[in-house]
Every structure is written in structure tokens, then in C-alpha cells.
Amino acid sequence: MSHQPIVPAAPKQAMWPLYAAGFTTAFGAHGIAANLGGFSEDAVTSLLVLGGLIAFAAASALYAVADSPGWLWAARLGQGAAASAFSPSASAMVARLNPAAKRGRAFGSYGFYKSVGYTLGPLLGGVLVWAGGLRLLFTVMAMCAAAVAVWAALAVPAVPPLPRKRQTIADLARRLTDRSFLAPTAALAAATAALSVGVGFLPVSGAAAGLGTVATGAAVSVLAATAAIVQPQAGRALDAGRLTTRTGLLTGLLTTAAGLAAAMLPGLAGVLLGAALIGTGTGLITPLGFAALAASTPEERMGQTMGSAELGRELGDAGGPLLVAGAATLSTLTAGYAALAVLLAAGPLVALAVRSPTPRAAK
């Protein structure tokens, strides 16, 4: 592992725009996604963060101005691309602006505000759509993203690229296949898979049990709110030495798997218990996983590592719902929850549990 340079703690006013940006993209993702169905008739510098926000604002404004189904899908495509560009850049900025001893708390706080965005997105998005349709929602999103972009440009310091040694493809492959990268990334992918399944399928379970939209919507809010509460606490515990990365990730995976198992129970109790446990597990995994990646990555390669980790999360985001949906198609939704629970409790857990062999003493 390379020696990390001592990084002075970023002033609070430099971090708030990043928190606001995380909230904005999360709010847009869930606020629009939660209200889209009813209307469908058919990397490392502040410049990169700012560029992602500007692209998100421009994509949002696209539909607000055009107001047609075709431009709606173009706007959503643009928002997705902008968010994909923004996420690894923001994660790298959080790491670069904070010393190693405070990165757990920094990632926990960043995750808290993203989770708040996920929590409030469906509710506030629904209010805006009720008041003025999707056009008003996209307009508000464009204005929020533009305002945060200006704030970031004024308050977030530029983080210039560091001198880098030449890297071969073999060097990159060796670093990305190292356990210090694979274990946290696998855990983050598993957490994202469970989060997507919880948001997408817990309302289905609730509806099948005869619950109304208010109860099922509350379940999703419980999941996101629990994750929001747990993330800063997990980050502080890591920084204070009360929690190790390995213990936290293992506990998070087991808790998340338990949440999926709880979702198999019938009725409101299963939905709410599943949401709370999934939120707790993913809230543990997210800040610890990113802090672990930052600790094992040379400063000059932070953006590359965070981008690769985000790719792993995207695979989990897509793969989790596909696995559950496939199992549910062949059997029942309960079987889908069980399949993902087994994967979370077995695959990543085994990878994290394997220890490097202790070298034998020379005879």
C-alpha cells in the first residue's frame, strides 16, 4: 500500500455544496422515477463535479422547455449520464478534501444527504407533480442543480491532479483485482442491489398483502431514512476506532440479508422490518466501503478507483432487481428475496472472510 500524504481537513463550507449536490441527484432520481409511471403514455476535480451538475441541470431543463414524451426520455437519459459522471467525481472529492482519519465521517455525512434525497424525492416529487405536472418537477430540478453548481463553483476549492507514475494495463488490472479493491466494491454492489430491490419490490409485497399506497410508500421512506441515520454513525465509529472496516462490512451484509429474509414475511410487519434492516445494513456498508477504497488507493488514482467502484455499484443496481424478478417469474417474489439474501450472505461474505495466509517462519 502506498503512503498517503497528509491532507488538511476541508473547511465545512467546502463540503456543504457536495452534500447538496448528492441530495439533488438523489432527489431527482427518486422524485422523477416515483412519478414517471403515471405520465408515461407509451472525475477528480471540482470542475468535473461542476460539469456533472451542469449537465444534470441542462438535461432537466430540456424537458421543462420542450414538454413532450420524446424529450422526456431524452432528459432522463441525460440526467442518468450526468449523474454517472458526477458520482465518482464527488466520491473522489470527498476523499481528497479530507484526511484519512476523518474520511469515514465525511463519507457518512455525504451518504446521509443522499439518503435524505432518496427519502424526500417521492414525497416532494409527488407534491410538485400534483401542483404542476412533470414539467414543474423538471423545472425545479433544473433550478436546484444550477444553484448547487454555482455554489460549488464558489465554495469548493479546486483539487489539482497529482503527479502520476505511468500505469500499464497490467498495473491497472492488478490493482482492480486486489482484495483491497474487490472486497469493498463487492460489498457496495451487494448493498446497492439490496437497496434497489427494497425500493422496487417492497411496495409490490405490500400491495400483494392488501396494503395501500400510503403504507407501501412509508416502507420505502423507512428504508431510506434508516440508511440516512446509520451512515454518519458508522462513519464516526470507523474514525474513532470503535468499528473496523471488516467487521462493519460483514455486519452490514448479514443485516441486509436478514432484511431480505424479513421481507419474505407476510403483511405490513414483514415489509417494515425488511425495510428497516435493509436500510441499516446498506447504511453500514456504504460509508465503510468508500472509506476502505480511499484508504487503499494512491491519492493520484482516487478518481479511477471511485469510478471503477461506481461501475460495480451500477452492476448491483441492475443485477439485484433482475435476479429477484427472474426468480419471482419462475416461482414467487418470496423466492426472489431468498435468492438475493443467500447471495448476500454467501458470496461477498465468503470473499470478506478469507484472510491472507500467514507467512511461515523460516526454518
pLDDT of residue 305: 78
DSSP three-state, residue 166: coil
Residues whose CB is less than 8 angstroms from the CB of residue 251 and which lie 6 or more positions away in sequence, other chains included: 281, 284
Q: Specify the residue for cell string 446498506.
A: 282
Q: Specify the residue for cell string 441499516.
A: 280
**Cell digits of residue 230:** 446509520
pLDDT of residue 122: 67
List average pLDDT for each run of 10 residues in the chain, which is 363 residues long: 48 76 72 50 40 49 49 48 59 77 83 78 71 76 80 75 63 70 89 87 83 73 87 92 91 95 90 93 92 82 76 84 90 92 80 50 38
Q: Specify the residue for cell string 457518512.
A: 108
pLDDT of residue 299: 73
Burial of 50 (0-12, 13-18, 19+ CB in 10 A): buried
